[in-house]
Amino acid sequence: MRVNGKQYPCSPGLTLRTLVSDLGLDPRKVVVMHGDEIYRGGDVPESPVADHDVIEIVTMMQGG
């Protein structure tokens, strides 16, 4: 699968929420695009991912 444009290993049973956690990200502070679906702050589901999936993850930051 591709995560933010880079190849990433897809292990059996991997879910979107687990992927975000494995990457060391707080699911409440990211926006995840999985195919045509977009999940915002804390709504990242336990949806399974597959080898052919394309996932984009953006970290929300405060600032000015």
Whole-prediction pTM value?
A: 0.86
Q: Assign residue 41 the CATH number of its domain.
A: 3.10.20.30
User: Would you say 54 and 30 are in contact if contact means Cβ atoms under 8 Å apart?
Assistant: no
What range defines the domain where residue 18 resides? 2-59
Quick check: helix, strand or coil at residue 40? strand
Q: Let me know if residue 23 belongs to a domain.
A: yes
What is the rounded average pLDDT of the residues 1-20?
A: 95
Q: Let me know if residue 50 belongs to a domain.
A: yes
Q: How many domains does the chain have?
A: 1
| Per-residue pLDDT tens over the stretch 14-61 | 999 999 999 999 888 999 999 999 999 789 999 999 999 999 999 977
Q: Let me know if residue 64 belongs to a domain.
A: no
* Chain centroid offset of residue 1 CA: 11
At residue 4, the pLDDT reads 96
At residue 12, the pLDDT reads 93
